[in-house]
Homo-oligomer: A and B are copies of this chain.
Amino acid sequence: MVEPTNGRPRLSRERVLTAAVEVADAGGIGALTIRSLAQELGAKPMSVYYHVAGKEAILDGIVDVVFSEIDLPSPDGDWRIELRRRAASARQVLRQHRWAIGLMESRTSPGPATLRHHDAVLATLRAAGFSLEMTAHAYALIDSYTYGFALQEAGLPFDGPDTVAPVAESIMEQFTTGDYPHLAEMTTDFYSKSGYDFGDEFDFGLNLILDALSASLT
C-alpha cells in the first residue's frame, strides 16, 4: 500500500489536482491537457481517469484547490481587519493562478473549500452585526470588487510597476494618437510615470468600500 514496485508514488485525486494546478500555473489553462497532466505525473493519460471523472471534474477540482489556498477570515476578530486580510489573500492567490478567474465563470458546482470559504465570510459579516439583508449586500459588494479587481489585473498585459510604459505605448502606437485622447493622457501623464503600480489601486477601493459599509453599521 505504501509504494508500488516502480519508484513513482501512487496517483490519487489529490496528486492529480495538484499537478493540474502546477501545469496550469506554468503554461496557462490551455496547456492543461490530459496528456500534459499525465506527463507531469509520470504516468500515462488513461491513468488519471481512475482518479477523476474527466476533464470537467479536473476543472471543478482545481478551482476548489485555489479557493482552499485563500486565507479564511475569522468571525472572532475585527471584521474589517479580517475581511481585508481575506481580500488581500484572495488577490494574491488569484495572481498566482490567473487561469482560475476565467474558470470561475463556467463552473457552477462549488466544491467544499469554496463553500467553506463563503461560509466564513458570511460568518464574519454576521458576527460584525450586519443584518441578513445587509450581509447579502456587503457580501455581493466585497466579492464583486475582489474578484473583479483580480479579473482586471489578470487581463493586463503587464505586471508590477515600471512595466506599464512599454506595453501601453506599443498598444497605443497601433492606433491614431488622437483617437483615444483620455486614454493617451492617462497613459503618458500618469500610468507611465514614476513606477505606477495598478495593484496599489486595490487598497483604495477596498478601504472605500469597507468605510462605507462600516458607516451603515452604526
Contact = CB atoms under 8 A, between A and B. Distances in A.
A135 B132 CA distance: 34
A121 B114 CA distance: 34
Interface in A50-105: 98-99, 101-105
A201 interface: yes
Contact of A140 (B110, B118, B141, B205): B205
A119 B182 contact: yes
B151 A119 contact: no
A108 B152 CA distance: 10
Contact of A198 (B116, B140, B151, B186): B140
A132 B204 contact: no
Determine chain A's interface SS by DSSP, over half rule. helix
Contacts of A195: none
A217 interface: no
B108 A156 contact: yes
B108 A141 contact: no
B155 A104 contact: yes
Contacts of A10: none
A118 B105 CA distance: 23
B115 A106 contact: no
Interface stretch (A1-9, A35-43, A207-215): A207-215
A13 interface: no
B122 A182 contact: yes
Interface of A: 28-29, 98-99, 101-110, 112, 115-116, 118-119, 122-123, 126, 132-133, 135-137, 140-141, 143-149, 151-152, 154-157, 171, 175, 179-183, 185-186, 189-191, 196, 198, 201-202, 204-205, 208-209, 211-213
